[in-house]
Chains A and B, each alone.
Chain A
Amino acid sequence: MLRSIRWTLQLWHAAILMLALIGFGTATYYGSSRAKYAEVDAELAGRVHSLAAKLAGPLRRPPPPVRNPDNLDPPPNNPNRPRGDGPPGELRPQDRPPFDRPPEDRPQGERPLRELEVPPNLLEPFGDGHDDEPYLIIWRANGEIIKTTAPNLQVPRPGFQLEGPQPAILRHRGIIREAYVMGPQRTGVLIGRSTQRQRNEMNRLAWLLIATGGGVLAIGLAGGWILSLRVVRPIRAMTATAATISASQLSGRIDATGTASELGDLARVLNAMFDRLESSFEQQSRFTADASHELRTPLAVIHSHSELALSRDRTPDEYRRTIATCLRACGRMQGLMESLLLLARADAGQLKLDCQPIDLGQIADECLSMLRPLAAEKFVQVEADLPPTDITGDPVRLAQVVTNLLTNAIRYNCEGGTVRVAIATHEECVELIVSNTGTGIDAKDRPHVFDRFFRVDAHRNRESGGSGLGLAICKSIVEAHEGTIELTSDENAGTIFTVRLPSRKSIPEIVS
């Protein structure tokens, strides 16, 4: 199942979709969280700065007469100082002192810090929640807390290092975020708040993202499943059609109409392949039928004559005739087998050529002299123009070609006709031309003359022999020599076969 395209597609689709969703969710979550906390931090920093500025700013009323700037002790005789139970110098939240406003001429730093009063707007909640009310803590340089709005909170004192207008330093403690800055006279000023509300919002966002992501994933997977079904369905249909097409039933074709373009292309390619396969099978089965017909006939001769001879007692003469007939049939079968073997080897590219420098003119002349008796029998005149022509080739195979062509030219000539054989040398190739003055070959038969077992039927006759393989063999041999063979024919004006072989060129020997 996992090997099917559909499941593979679906798994990839799910994995990619999941990755994308996780990436998107994470980015959204962290982006949103950063923005939220940055807002909180900016607000805190702004407040801590304005508080520090307030501390350093002018006092609201005249300072006490005595002030020890180093000690930062509150002046003892401050009439406005509220009475409290706490130790002196401690700033109690329940009795917030007003900020001292120093006179314009009073140098900063000499302000009595115990008179600090926090403006109420500084400690307003940031939003409308009530769980994140900010708190402030002011330390002296020696670590003593001057003022705190959250005495119950255990807030560790950060290490204040630099005086002056510095950017506020931010500190995170769990869900608490704090901003602090060095105030005047080395005081430490800190404003903090809980971010519980932000955290809750972020949690809600996370759950929302997870829920949305899950939904998108489900819809995406379902869509992918339907899409893959749409993709796979025509493939399945094609598979089913292709499965019905077998060696014995090659006529079926895949319906390429209305299929998506790529699949339509595939269907057309497959159909073209089936066409070629069908014609190849047809050719093959025709060849097999022809070959078996050619082999069965001599076999039937041997069989029937032997059976006949054995059916009763015969004279020695009758036996002799029977044996001679069987021998003739054997010779015919042998010739046929050799032809078929040669063609099979040529088909497999294993036709062995014994290539050597040869004189084509001499070979053609020898072939011609062997065939003169046949020509005389048919009252055919032979004209030859065979100058010495050096080429590289297999003398035995080329002699076979010349003999086949000449035999055809003589046999399918009319009585008193002429056969002409000539060699012409060109720059690139050597031409061997065999022509006759016979009846010619019908235009419809011309493309088939090199086909195996093809016979121009009107001429087909056992008396004139021939298995119908001669020209197919010529073609194979010539092509093994990297040459070409072609015919031109006019009805009633004879036929011309032209063999072109590469001139003086070494032909690579084809070895099995």
Chain B
Amino acid sequence: MRVLVVEDEPDLLSALTQSLREEGYAVDSAVEGREGLFKAQGGEYDAIVLDLMLPRMDGWSVLHELRKTKAVPVLILTARDALPDRVRGLDGGADDYLTKPFQLAELLARLRALIRRTTGNANPVITMGDIEIDTTAHSVRQAGHPVLLTPREYSLVEFLALHKGKLVTRTAIYDHLFDEEDDSLSNLVDVHVSNVRKKLGKDFIATRRGEGYQVNA
């Protein structure tokens, strides 16, 4: 899952990016409004964390511009806690609103919920055959037995599971699993796919030659 954080306070930005990375997200960041809008319009994000009081372009304007082209879930994270601000934020196209100071755990839970809902999954535990993926605990069980995956492998499984039954291109996987600073080669995706197949069975991920991958419900 790839997340964009737009926040002008460097100390807060560092805490956010670090905790999101530790949760297995690929994280991009922007320190002012225009940069944030540029990245949001150009990148494939699963969620955006947006501050409102930003230099050069405030969060409402970023949101307004972004909503013209993108439906990506946006969580507003701001010190502005007045009711009119919250209403304005949500009515302006935001999907959630969290005020500073906040608990990291809550922010992470809200992001998980946002991503779950936008992919059409209400249940945090995704079941496919005998495989259960707990998106909260980041754990995978097969026939009741836990399967050990690396964070990257888990992200791949989770991404495919959230889009189960759909064709997912290699580029899409690459875009959602690696952040802007990651210059891994795109064939790394194939390596991860093959590792996951080894752990969860060959048939878990089907290859559509020349198109991409797919997991079936």
Contact = CB atoms under 8 A, between A and B. Distances in A.
Contact of A462 (B10, B103, B105): B10
A458 B22 contact: no
Contacts, number: 74
A300 B100 contact: yes
Given A289-B80, A457-B55, A461-B8, A303 B103 contact: yes
Interface stretch (A188-196, A290-298, A365-373, A503-511): A290-298
A14 B214 CA distance: 98
A307 B105 contact: yes
Interface string B99-120: 1111111000000000000000
Interface residues of A, number: 26
A297 B12 contact: yes
B11 A325 contact: yes
B16 interface: yes
B53 interface: yes
Interface in A287-332: 289, 292-294, 296-297, 299-305, 307-308, 311-312, 325, 328-329
A303 B55 contact: no
A360 to B, nearest CB: 35
A292 B82 CA distance: 11
Interface in B105-163: 105
Contacts of A34: none
Contacts of A311: 19, 22, 104
Interface string B12-29: 101110110010000000
B68 interface: no
Interface string A455-487: 001101111000000000000000000000000
B11 A305 contact: yes
A438 B116 CA distance: 50
Contacts of B12: 297, 300-301, 304
B65 interface: no
Contacts of B101: 296, 299-300, 302-304
A308 B18 contact: yes
Contacts of A463: 10
Contacts of A462: 8-10, 31, 55
Contact of B9 (A301, A303, A307): A301
Contact of B55 (A305, A329, A460): A460
Contacts of A303: 101-103
A292 B81 contact: yes
